[in-house]
Amino acid sequence: MDDGPRRREPLVLPAGIRALGPEAEAAVQRLVEDAERRQEHEAAQALEHSLRIVPRPLRGVVRRVLLG
């Protein structure tokens, strides 16, 4: 399953978080990645739900317009 688009640039954590040490830094990195993954999934679900109001013959065209 495709997880969707990924971050193009590396996540730069603030100095305060980096100062907490590598374990805290890794935990925050995982939390941010998980949140981004959930957000992408929820956005995809919302798009699919929204397309239900579009007549079936037009859904492909509307999807292409919305997603580029």
- pLDDT for the residue numbered 1: 43
Residues composing the chain: 68
- pLDDT for the residue numbered 7: 64
Residues 56, 1: Cα–Cα separation, whole Å: 25
Q: Is the pLDDT of residue 4 over 60?
A: no
Q: Is 2 helix (H, G, I), strand (E, B) or coil?
A: coil
The closest alpha carbon to 18, from 34, 2, 29, 5, belongs to 29
40 touches 5 (CB < 8 A): yes
Q: For the residues 30-56, what does the mean pLDDT come to? A: 94
Q: Is the pLDDT of residue 3 over 70?
A: no
Q: What angle do CA 40, 43, 44 make, to 5 degrees?
A: 85
Reported pTM: 0.68
